[in-house]
Amino acid sequence: MKPPSMSGWVLSVASLAGAGACIAGLALSSQPAHAAELGLQGSRLVVSGMLDGTAIKEFTDQLASGTVHTVVFEDSSGGTAEAAGAYADAIRASGVQTEVRGQCMAACAYAFLAGKTHRFGYGGQVNGILLPVAVRPTAAELAVRWRGDETHKTLADFTPSATSATPVSSVASATPAAMAKPIEAGAPASPKDNWQPEHGVLFTASPTLFGRVYNTYYCDGTQGRDFSKCERLPDADPYKLGVLTP
């Protein structure tokens, strides 16, 4: 029997033991990433596709309207660190909540963390976010890396502001043409962005008959889109690390 495919993730269940399920493999959909698309559903603004900066003006205008309470990132991968900073600044300034349905990789993950609250969506899909890192974080670094202002500082390590005078926050007012060239999922990192979308810490939530199972992995980038090759990190609960909020 083929494993079920959910929202771009392929889930393989290796074994069932008592009240939990062990995930043996996760793989990204092979479909090419498309530019960001926005869709307003009542007070929820759904963002899908690659955060490359082309939709940032529309995004900030939607948040400025005051009608959006939650930004939902749905199957978003790739993008630039600059665009991530622009989305994060707009989210932080508006005070909205954020949610992930399906996959949220690289730029999307940092934008997601800017929400007043940031949670995985409900439903039968496998949810996961991958936060790029330059090097493998220690346990002590994981404990604070993505909490509050530390998230903004961490993102700055990947942006031109780390080596030039251009601040991340200035990207929010830039035109789409001024944005950095987007990084497609799986493409080599450019010197400007200094990250690889598939090198980072992966947080997942998988549905089972007894509730959701949360896991955290370190992916060194050599695994490509086969995340079953990533190393599982013990004692790295996403709630305790501040990656997810209650």
- Domain span at residue 78 reads 31-206
Flag whether 6 is in a domain. no
pLDDT per position as a tens digit, 92-116: 999 999 999 999 999 999 999 999 9
Q: What is the signed CA dihedral for 215, 116, 9, 83, rounded to 10 degrees?
A: -120
pLDDT per position as a tens digit, 65-89: 999 999 999 999 888 888 999 999 9
Q: Is 54 helix (H, G, I), strand (E, B) or coil?
A: coil
Flag whether 3 is in a domain. no
Flag whether 232 is in a domain. no
Q: Is the entire prediction scored with pTM above 0.85?
A: no
Flag whether 2 is in a domain. no
Give the CATH number of the domain where residue 131 resides. Answer: 3.90.226
Flag whether 229 is in a domain. no
Instruction: Compute the distance between CA of residue 128 and CA of residue 105 in angstroms, rounded to an integer.
Output: 8
Which tokens belong to 85?
């900073």
Flag whether 213 is in a domain. no
Query: Residue 7 — left, alpha, or beta (φ > 0 → left; ψ -120 to 50 → alpha)?
Result: left
Flag whether 13 is in a domain. no
pLDDT per position as a tens digit, 146-172: 887 777 667 777 765 444 433 333 333
Flag whether 110 is in a domain. yes
For the chain, the domain total comes to: 1
